[in-house]
């Protein structure tokens, strides 16, 4: 099957702590695949433990690419990731391997499968002004100000500062809402590729419990020490890597503002809120669409054989 260069790209999406990475490894091992990261935070070199990057045994089992490829001092983007992902997909197919793209960053997955809109570059001065405005107003008031000019922004969460600032930057730079650019100028899917989409959509109680437990395990594996090393770099706190789940809370602990237990509790809360937003995104954007298969529980080895049979049938086409 890995020799069929017309086989679709496997795409695995879902919320954090749902078992995506384990499923990706199982599929890649079965079909001779290469796992391609589509998690925006797992791109950063300094964020290993705190982003739950694949374990050493998984890295040894099948090839993994686009993990830890950017320094935390840089800003990743959907456009930059898409270029890298398409290059890795092409490389995998040239080797006769099945690309298995996995991650919870919905914008990245949509960029890969549907293309990006042709938004002009935003000047640095506007970026700085928008971020300064966010710092002055806070998330709620900043969102309200944005929605007054771009009603479509009402769907954005006040805590999702990355998307809020992007929408405001585009509005300020072009005079048009980002939603209009996305509607009118999307470039479409990449030529020559098709996609087998699997989305993990577990019940929220199980998902939240998994996320809570995983963060405790991260701390035991050295997440605080990892954040200490990141903090020592003296980076701009507005950089994406500095906002990764658990990083702000553990930084506050390291600076003496929170006990470790308080930091863990707040990080778990942030993780649950993020997971909720991811669930909503996947349900609205992918689940129910033609060609999307839903796994309605946390992924576990007990589901492996059934999912492998499904994937095998789809890959044979």
Q: Note whether residue 252 is domain-resident.
A: no
Strand-pair category, 195-200 with 292-295: parallel
Q: Do 193 and 163 share a domain, yes or no? A: no
pLDDT of residue 1: 44
- Integer Rg of the chain from CA: 20
pLDDT of residue 13: 98
Q: Do 143 and 110 share a domain, yes or no? A: no
Look at residues 316, 275, 294, 309 and name the one whose alpha carbon lies nearest to residue 26.
309
pLDDT of residue 3: 44
Q: Could you tell me the sign of the dihedral formed by the alpha carbons of 209, 212, 217, 218, in that order?
A: positive
User: What tokens appear for 36 in the block?
Assistant: 């391609």
Using CA atoms, how far apart are residues 10 and 135, in angstroms rounded to an integer? 40
Using CA atoms, how far apart are residues 135 and 131, in angstroms rounded to an integer? 6
Q: Note whether residue 263 is domain-resident.
A: no
Give bridge partners of residue 93 from the DSSP assignment. Answer: none
Q: Do 198 and 309 share a domain, yes or no? A: yes
Quote the DSSP letter at residue 243: G
Q: Note whether residue 232 is domain-resident.
A: no
Look at residues 77, 74, 75, 90 and name the one whose alpha carbon lies nearest to residue 65.
90
Q: Do 181 and 210 share a domain, yes or no? A: no
Using CA atoms, how far apart are residues 307 and 134, in angstroms rounded to an integer? 44
| pLDDT in single tens digits along all 317 residues of the chain | 444 455 789 999 999 999 999 999 999 999 999 999 999 999 999 999 999 999 999 999 999 999 999 999 999 999 899 999 999 999 999 999 999 999 999 999 999 998 887 777 789 899 889 999 998 999 899 999 999 999 988 888 887 888 899 899 999 998 988 878 777 656 677 888 999 999 999 999 999 999 999 999 999 999 999 999 999 999 999 899 999 999 999 999 999 999 999 999 999 999 999 999 999 999 999 998 878 999 999 999 999 999 999 999 988 76
Q: Do 307 and 197 share a domain, yes or no? A: yes
- Could you tell me the CATH number of the domain that includes residue 131? 1.10.20.140
Q: Note whether residue 162 is domain-resident.
A: yes
Q: Do 172 and 197 share a domain, yes or no? A: no
- Could you tell me the CATH number of the domain that includes residue 84? 3.40.50.300
Q: Do 17 and 88 share a domain, yes or no? A: yes
Q: Note whether residue 111 is domain-resident.
A: yes
170 sits in which H/E element: helix 161-174
What is the number of structural domains in the chain? 2
Looking at 137, 158, 185, the residue that finishes a domain is: 185
Residue 102 lies in domain:
9-116+189-220+276-316
CB 43 within 8 A of CB 81: yes
């Amino acid at each position: 099957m890995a020799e069929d260069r017309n086989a679709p790209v496997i795409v695995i999406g879902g919320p954090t702590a749902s078992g995506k990475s384990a499923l990706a490894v199982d599929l890649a091992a079965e079909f001779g695949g290469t796992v391609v990261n589509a998690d925006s935070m797992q791109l950063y070199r300094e964020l290993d433990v705190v982003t739950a990057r694949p374990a050493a045994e998984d890295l040894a089992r099948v090839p993994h690419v686009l993990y830890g490829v950017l320094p935390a001092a840089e800003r990743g983007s959907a456009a930059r990731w898409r270029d890298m992902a398409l290059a890795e997909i092409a490389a995998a197919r040239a080797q006769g391997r099945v690309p298995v793209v996995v991650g919870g960053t919905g914008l990245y997955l949509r960029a890969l499968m549907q293309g990006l809109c042709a938004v002009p570059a935003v000047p640095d001065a506007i970026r700085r002004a928008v971020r300064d405005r966010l710092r002055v107003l806070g998330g709620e008031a900043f969102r309200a100000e944005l929605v007054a000019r771009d009603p479509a922004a009402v769907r954005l969460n006040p805590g999702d500062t990355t998307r809020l600032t992007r929408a405001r930057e585009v509005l300020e730079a072009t005079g048009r809402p980002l939603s209009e650019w996305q509607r009118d100028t999307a470039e479409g899917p990449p030529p020559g590729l098709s996609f087998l989409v699997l989305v993990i959509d577990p019940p929220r109680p199980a998902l939240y419990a998994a996320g809570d437990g995983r963060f405790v395990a991260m701390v035991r594996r050295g997440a605080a020490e990892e954040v200490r090393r990141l903090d020592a770099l003296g980076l701009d706190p507005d950089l994406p890597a500095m906002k990764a789940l658990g990083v702000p809370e553990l930084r506050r602990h390291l600076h003496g503002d929170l006990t470790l237990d308080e930091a863990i509790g707040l990080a778990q809360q942030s993780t649950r809120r993020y997971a909720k937003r991811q669930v909503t995104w996947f349900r609205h954007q992918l689940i129910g669409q033609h060609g999307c298969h839903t796994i309605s529980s946390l992924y576990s080895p007990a589901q492996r054989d059934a999912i492998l049979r499904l994937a095998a049938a789809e890959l044979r086409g």
